[in-house]
Amino acid sequence: MIVLGIETSCDETAAALVRDGQDVLGNSVASQIKLHAGYGGVVPELAAREHLRAMDVVVNEALSGAGLKIQDVDAVAVTCGPGLVPALLVGTSYAKGLAAARGCPFLGVNHFLAHIYGSFIGRPDVLADPDAFPVLALVVSGGHSALVVIESSGRAHIVGTTIDDAAGEAYDKAAKILDLGYPGGPVLDRIAKTGNPKAYDFPRGLTGGAGKPLDPAQRYNFSFSGVKTALLYATKDRELDEQAMADVVASYQQAIVDVLVGKAIRAAAEYGTPTICLCGGVACNSQLRAAMGEAAAQAGRQLVLAAPKYCTDNAAMVAGIAFHYLSRGIASDLDLSVSARLEQNLGTIPFAPGAK
């Protein structure tokens, strides 16, 4: 089955052709980073306008890269949430029209779950192995920082989530405070490589390190607003030379990575998950990838890392996960609506080996 996936949840317009959930035949992404850089963040109305301009381009590029024609597509899948509503409406409207014109199945895909599936593109061996489950997914992006346990049956539940800023948002806000540009993640990761991560003792939110016991209900939740505020006061009215800037950034990044890795490893132990997957845009971060790899090895856990091109928003993950729904006869109606927020009930994850 060849699925055309479409992604417009934020500021990337993407299309991909994926065969049977694994074989990525064509993949195209149009970025809007330069458009939004001057605002220090994504402007939803501008994003929607650019999606309108780019949709035909990325779909045609994906088809061309795959050596296919639209007549070869068996189904159309699109991100329907969570995300920016104006942006989501562009992608879903386009996908509905395409599916209706082709007379083929149409499916709305949860962007959050698609990110998790992105870890398993190229790893069908893990998906087919019941002994690899349950899986703990650490999803880290501009909108999400969450821990999800996925059982072999496909039952999934969120065991921890952000209560304020997501990790990616914390990177972008730090870059804005330090006047380093947008998006913050890549530039902070680069600068941190030459800094001293112990130069500043930034807080590790919701870890019990503030002098009082941690509420058990918060043990796997995330909070990055405190470290962002600490950064603001640590650098306020200071002129930072190149090395001082590197030290600040390295220390800030270390604080975020420590929390993400520490909570993931503890959750894996509590829930008995032999496999951890790391996904989402922040999963491109080199220090996070290295630290998670080292911690997972020490804990005796298998780590599945999303390839960098499948960490950031892309349509291959959308088409890939869609195959598993569609092959079970699950499709959406053309009156499907979009949603800005992530629903806490994730339903049954279709790519788990025991999912029905």
41 or 221: which leads in pLDDT: 221
| One-letter amino acid for residue 107 of the chain | L
Same fold, 2-117+310-326 and 131-305: yes
Give the residue-averaged pLDDT of 253-272: 98
Q: Contact, 295 vs 147, CB < 8 A?
A: no
* Measured distance CA(81)–CA(270) in Å, rounded: 30
Percent of the chain with pLDDT over 90: 94
Res. 38: pLDDT tops 90: no
Which residues make Cβ contacts (< 8 Å) with residue 68, sequence separation at least 6?
2, 17, 25, 26
Which residues make Cβ contacts (< 8 Å) with residue 238, sequence separation at least 6?
244
Model pLDDT for residues 210-234, shown as the tens digit of each residue: 667 899 999 999 999 999 999 999 9
With tokens 């699109």, the residue in question is 78
Give kind and range of the element (H or E) at residue 270.
Answer: helix 242-271
Q: What are phi and psi of 122, to 5 degrees?
A: 90, 0
356 or 22: which leads in pLDDT: 22
Model pLDDT for residues 45-87, shown as the tens digit of each residue: 999 999 999 999 999 999 999 999 999 999 999 999 999 999 9
* Measured distance CA(247)–CA(343) in Å, rounded: 38
CA 85 to mean position of chain CA atoms: 17
The pLDDT assigned to 190 comes to 98
Res. 168: pLDDT tops 70: yes
Give the residue-averaged pLDDT of 83-97: 98
Percent of the chain with pLDDT over 70: 99
Could you state, in order of their start, the residue ranges of all structural domains in the chain?
2-117+310-326, 131-305
Share the mean pLDDT of the chain: 96
Model pLDDT for residues 191-214, shown as the tens digit of each residue: 999 999 999 999 999 998 766 789
The 3-class SS string of 40-104 reads CCCCHHHHHHHHHHHHHHHHHHHHHHHCCCHHHCCEEEEEEECCCHHHHHHHHHHHHHHHHHHCC
User: Which region, left, alpha or beta, applies to residue 280 given φ > 0 means left and ψ of -120 to 50 means alpha?
Assistant: left
Q: What are phi and psi of 268, to 5 degrees?
A: -60, -40
Which residues make Cβ contacts (< 8 Å) with residue 94, sequence separation at least 6?
6, 55, 78
Which CATH code for domain 131-305? 3.30.420.40
Give the residue-averaged pLDDT of 90-100: 98
Model pLDDT for residues 144-164, shown as the tens digit of each residue: 999 999 999 999 999 999 999
The pLDDT assigned to 59 comes to 98
Which residues make Cβ contacts (< 8 Å) with residue 110, sequence separation at least 6?
79, 80, 81, 82, 342, 343, 346
- 8-state DSSP, 222: B
Pairing of strands 23-31, 12-19: antiparallel
pTM over 0.85: yes
Domain 2-117+310-326 belongs to what architecture?
Answer: 2-Layer Sandwich (3.30)
